[in-house]
Amino acid sequence: MSTASSVAKLMGFAPERIEDLKTAIAEACINAMEHGNKLDESLIVVVILSMDETSLEVKVLDMGTGPPGVVHAPNMDKKMHGEEPSRGMGMFLIQALVDEAEWVSSPPSGSYARLVIRLNKTEE
Protein backbone atom coordinates (compact mmCIF):
# COMPACT_ATOMS: atom_id res chain seq x y z
CA MET A 1 0.00 0.00 0.00
CA SER A 2 2.77 2.41 0.88
CA THR A 3 4.65 1.84 -2.35
CA ALA A 4 1.51 2.27 -4.46
CA SER A 5 0.66 5.37 -2.45
CA SER A 6 4.09 6.87 -3.12
CA VAL A 7 3.87 6.12 -6.83
CA ALA A 8 0.35 7.60 -7.06
CA LYS A 9 1.51 10.72 -5.24
CA LEU A 10 4.45 11.14 -7.64
CA MET A 11 2.02 10.72 -10.56
CA GLY A 12 -0.12 13.58 -9.24
CA PHE A 13 -3.16 11.77 -7.86
CA ALA A 14 -5.31 13.68 -5.39
CA PRO A 15 -4.98 12.59 -1.75
CA GLU A 16 -8.55 11.22 -1.74
CA ARG A 17 -7.84 9.01 -4.74
CA ILE A 18 -4.67 7.75 -3.08
CA GLU A 19 -6.66 6.78 0.00
CA ASP A 20 -9.19 4.98 -2.23
CA LEU A 21 -6.33 3.10 -3.89
CA LYS A 22 -4.76 2.12 -0.56
CA THR A 23 -8.08 0.78 0.72
CA ALA A 24 -8.71 -1.16 -2.50
CA ILE A 25 -5.23 -2.71 -2.41
CA ALA A 26 -5.62 -3.66 1.25
CA GLU A 27 -8.94 -5.33 0.51
CA ALA A 28 -7.53 -7.16 -2.53
CA CYS A 29 -4.59 -8.43 -0.44
CA ILE A 30 -6.91 -9.60 2.33
CA ASN A 31 -9.05 -11.41 -0.23
CA ALA A 32 -5.93 -12.99 -1.78
CA MET A 33 -4.73 -14.29 1.59
CA GLU A 34 -8.12 -15.38 2.89
CA HIS A 35 -9.96 -16.65 -0.18
CA GLY A 36 -7.22 -17.25 -2.74
CA ASN A 37 -4.57 -18.81 -0.54
CA LYS A 38 -7.04 -20.12 2.05
CA LEU A 39 -4.92 -18.61 4.85
CA ASP A 40 -2.04 -20.95 3.97
CA GLU A 41 1.02 -19.05 5.23
CA SER A 42 3.31 -21.01 2.91
CA LEU A 43 1.65 -19.44 -0.15
CA ILE A 44 2.62 -16.01 -1.44
CA VAL A 45 0.71 -12.93 -2.49
CA VAL A 46 2.43 -10.77 -5.10
CA VAL A 47 1.63 -7.11 -5.79
CA ILE A 48 2.72 -5.67 -9.14
CA LEU A 49 2.49 -1.98 -10.04
CA SER A 50 2.42 -0.72 -13.63
CA MET A 51 1.94 2.85 -14.72
CA ASP A 52 1.71 5.04 -17.77
CA GLU A 53 1.10 8.77 -18.15
CA THR A 54 -2.58 8.59 -17.23
CA SER A 55 -3.12 5.53 -15.04
CA LEU A 56 -1.76 3.25 -12.36
CA GLU A 57 -2.49 -0.47 -12.48
CA VAL A 58 -2.09 -2.80 -9.52
CA LYS A 59 -2.25 -6.58 -9.79
CA VAL A 60 -2.62 -8.66 -6.65
CA LEU A 61 -1.75 -12.28 -7.40
CA ASP A 62 -2.48 -15.33 -5.26
CA MET A 63 -2.30 -19.10 -5.65
CA GLY A 64 -6.07 -19.68 -5.69
CA THR A 65 -8.57 -20.40 -8.44
CA GLY A 66 -10.24 -16.99 -8.49
CA PRO A 67 -13.68 -15.86 -7.37
CA PRO A 68 -16.77 -17.69 -8.56
CA GLY A 69 -18.99 -15.81 -10.98
CA VAL A 70 -19.96 -12.16 -11.13
CA VAL A 71 -19.63 -9.52 -8.41
CA HIS A 72 -23.06 -8.65 -7.03
CA ALA A 73 -23.91 -5.54 -5.05
CA PRO A 74 -24.59 -6.44 -1.42
CA ASN A 75 -28.00 -5.84 0.09
CA MET A 76 -27.03 -3.17 2.60
CA ASP A 77 -30.44 -3.16 4.34
CA LYS A 78 -30.18 -6.89 5.08
CA LYS A 79 -26.58 -6.52 6.24
CA MET A 80 -27.51 -3.61 8.54
CA HIS A 81 -30.40 -5.58 10.05
CA GLY A 82 -28.28 -8.71 10.59
CA GLU A 83 -30.19 -10.72 8.00
CA GLU A 84 -26.98 -11.30 6.01
CA PRO A 85 -23.40 -11.62 7.22
CA SER A 86 -21.63 -8.27 7.56
CA ARG A 87 -18.71 -9.68 5.58
CA GLY A 88 -18.69 -10.32 1.84
CA MET A 89 -18.45 -6.78 0.51
CA GLY A 90 -14.77 -6.71 -0.48
CA MET A 91 -15.09 -7.04 -4.24
CA PHE A 92 -17.99 -4.59 -4.29
CA LEU A 93 -15.94 -2.12 -2.25
CA ILE A 94 -12.93 -2.48 -4.56
CA GLN A 95 -15.11 -1.79 -7.61
CA ALA A 96 -16.48 1.34 -5.94
CA LEU A 97 -13.02 2.70 -5.13
CA VAL A 98 -11.15 2.26 -8.41
CA ASP A 99 -11.89 3.10 -12.04
CA GLU A 100 -11.53 -0.44 -13.25
CA ALA A 101 -11.45 -3.80 -11.44
CA GLU A 102 -11.38 -7.34 -12.69
CA TRP A 103 -10.65 -10.75 -11.27
CA VAL A 104 -8.82 -13.22 -13.47
CA SER A 105 -8.38 -16.93 -12.92
CA SER A 106 -5.23 -18.32 -14.51
CA PRO A 107 -4.74 -21.94 -13.40
CA PRO A 108 -2.50 -23.63 -12.64
CA SER A 109 -0.50 -20.59 -11.54
CA GLY A 110 -3.26 -18.92 -9.50
CA SER A 111 -5.44 -15.88 -9.99
CA TYR A 112 -5.22 -12.13 -9.67
CA ALA A 113 -7.19 -8.97 -9.05
CA ARG A 114 -6.42 -6.13 -11.45
CA LEU A 115 -7.15 -2.61 -10.20
CA VAL A 116 -6.75 0.58 -12.25
CA ILE A 117 -7.04 4.21 -11.24
CA ARG A 118 -6.83 6.99 -13.79
CA LEU A 119 -5.73 10.58 -13.45
CA ASN A 120 -8.57 13.04 -14.00
CA LYS A 121 -7.96 16.12 -16.08
CA THR A 122 -8.28 18.26 -12.94
CA GLU A 123 -5.53 16.25 -11.20
CA GLU A 124 -2.93 16.55 -13.95
**DSSP character for 50?**
E
pLDDT recorded at residue 83: 67
pLDDT recorded at residue 65: 84
For the segment 76-124, what is each residue's pLDDT rounded down to a tens digit? 666 566 666 666 678 889 999 999 999 998 777 789 999 999 998 555 4
The Cα diameter of the chain in Å comes to 45
- Which letter, b or e, does each residue of 66-94 get, where b requires 16 or more Cβ atoms within 10 Å of its Cβ? bbeeeeeebeeeeeeeeeeeeeebbbbbb
Helix, strand, or coil here: 48? strand
Give the integer Cα–Cα distance in Å for 121 and 124: 5
Distance from chain centroid for Cα 15: 18
Q: How many CB atoms lie within 10 A of CB 14?
A: 14
Average pLDDT over residues 16-41: 95
Helix, strand, or coil here: 76? helix
pLDDT recorded at residue 107: 74
20 touches 84 (CB < 8 A): no
pLDDT recorded at residue 88: 65
Entry pTM: 0.83
